[in-house]
Amino acid sequence: MIRLLRTALAAAILIVTPAFAHNGVIHLGPLNISGSFTRATLPNAPVGGGFLTIENTGTEADRLVSATSSAAKETQIHEMAMEGDVMKMRALADGLEIPAGETVTLAPGGFHLMFMGLNQAFVEGEKVTVTLTFEKAGTVDVELPVMTSAADAPAAGHAH
């Protein structure tokens, strides 16, 4: 009887927990989220960036449609791209497509999360939590470790 109760409890936990982390990777349906980090900011900096990798192991494309965080007044999905000789940054109003069977990396100088109107500085060694909402896979909270202000990748051994 106790074995049956344990099995039922384990099944219930899996049903109510659609996203889980394993080996530093957050799994949300067919999406695997890894390599998350942000950079330390100066004390009165108004903005910060968020970076991570999203792998879609599914057979259908999904879309990152929004991001929110209590660390900032507004969080947007952004793209940096060259227009002629000028690097331009813009919000992606329709979100970011994650094609089936592909990996999309949000990294400095490319796609990224933009935290606007920071409530306080991002301090190295702390974490910033962001809620990502996908069109099909749903919603998941991701912790971004705060790295140095010059970081361009998560620290070795930091997969989440």
- Are 73 and 117 in contact, with CB atoms under 8 Å apart? yes
Phi (first) and psi of residue 67, to 5 degrees: -145, 140
The DSSP symbol for 111 reads S
Per-residue pLDDT, 87: 81
Of 91, 70, 55, nearest to 141 (Cα)? Answer: 70
Positions of E strands within 29-102: 31-39, 47-56, 62-68, 72-83, 86-91, 96-98
Within 8 A by CB and 6+ apart from 51, the residues are 35, 36, 37, 38, 105, 106, 107, 108, 112, 113, 144, 154
Distance CA 12, CA 4 (A): 12
Q: Which residues are registered as beta bridge partners of 131?
A: 68, 141
* Domains recognised in the chain with CATH numbers: 20-147 (2.60.40.1890)
Contact 104, 93 (CB under 8 A): no
Measured CA to CA, the distance from residue 77 to residue 129 in angstroms comes to 15
Question: In which element (H, E) is residue 8 found?
Answer: helix 2-16
Q: Give the pLDDT of the chain (160 residues) as one tens digit per residue.
A: 555 444 444 444 444 344 555 567 999 999 999 999 999 999 999 999 999 999 999 999 999 999 999 999 999 999 987 778 888 889 999 999 999 999 999 999 999 999 999 999 999 999 999 999 999 999 999 999 999 998 888 876 544 4
